[in-house]
Structure 1
Amino acid sequence: MAHSLSKLYVHLIFSTKYRLPLLLDSFRSRFHDYLGGILRELEVPAIEMNSEPDHVHILFVQSRTMCLAEIVQEVKRSSSIWLKKVDSSLENFYWQKGYGAFSVSESFLEQIQIYIRNQREHHRKISYQEEYRDWLHQYRIEYDERYVWE
């Protein structure tokens, strides 16, 4: 085959360091625009994204030429720099070291988009930590609780 073709959907979840509620509504829309710009530059089309004060969800199409770890590293690096500039109280802002990335099938895409869109409502019922554990269990990812939270 002469061309390399792929379409892999990824649901990425990552949080602020120590899950501090630092992602404020006052700059939320601009933050999402900025994240979208980072992903466009990486040629990683964002399908849906949302943030809560302590974490971010992004659904995107995986790059054919860039590995997931590189994408996450650049999204977190660039957005951290932006956040430190947008609000002086965030001069010591950091993302947690890790992240969760989950594959999404084409047939489940719309459900994940709705799920991400409705984060505010969702988190009235369940905490970020409970949500993240649920994802890990659904995808049968083994983990050590000591190393998941920082």
Structure 2
Amino acid sequence: MRNVCADFECELVEFNGEHDHVHLLVGFPPKVALSTLVNSLKGVSARYLRKEYDSHVREYLWGGHFWSRSYYAGSTGGANLTTVRTYIQGQDRPTR
């Protein structure tokens, strides 16, 4: 995730998740199209996970796909980044 963000001149500030989704706090410049960044993050991570852990992740695929097509993006606006970072860190890490 960090390498993909760097390729887009973005900063992966925080990363965590639960058994069925992940949370990323990413700082990115206005020139980056969010949909392009998300598609790249999903594509690269899916290829990596399938390559490294294929037998394990195979049972969790959605119709043959590692990620669903949807995503949620929200702006932190004026929120304190420490507050957002703490929220993400408080999520359960995937255990499977």
Class of the TM-score when normalised by the shorter of the 2 chains: 0.7 to 0.9
Mapped partners of 1:57, 1:107: distance in 2 = 16
Q: Which amino acid aligns with 2:49?
A: L
2:13 is aligned with 1:41: no
Q: Which amino acid aligns with 2:41?
A: V
Larger RCO: 1 or 2 (CA < 8 Å, sep 6+): 2
Contact 2:16 2:92 in 1 (8 A): no
Unmatched segments (≥5 aa) in structure 2: 59-63
Contact 1:46 1:59 in 2 (8 A): yes
What TM-score results when the alignment is normalised by the length of structure 1? 0.53
Alignment coverage as a number of residue pairs: 87
Mapped partners of 2:29, 2:45: distance in 1 = 19
What TM-score results when the alignment is normalised by the length of structure 2? 0.80
Q: Which amino acid aligns with 1:119?
A: Q
Query: After superposition, what is the alpha-carbon deviation per residue over 1:79-118, rounded to whole angstroms, capped at 9, x for unaligned?
Result: 1100101112235452011000000024431111000001
RMSD of Structure 2 on Structure 1 (CA):
1.8
Query: After superposition, what is the alpha-carbon deviation per residue over 1:22-57, rounded to whole angstroms, capped at 9, x for unaligned?
Result: xxxxxxxxxxxxx11111121111111112221110
Q: Percent identity?
A: 28
Bigger radius of gyration among the two: 1
Unmatched segments (≥5 aa) in structure 1: 1-34, 122-150
More helix by share: 1
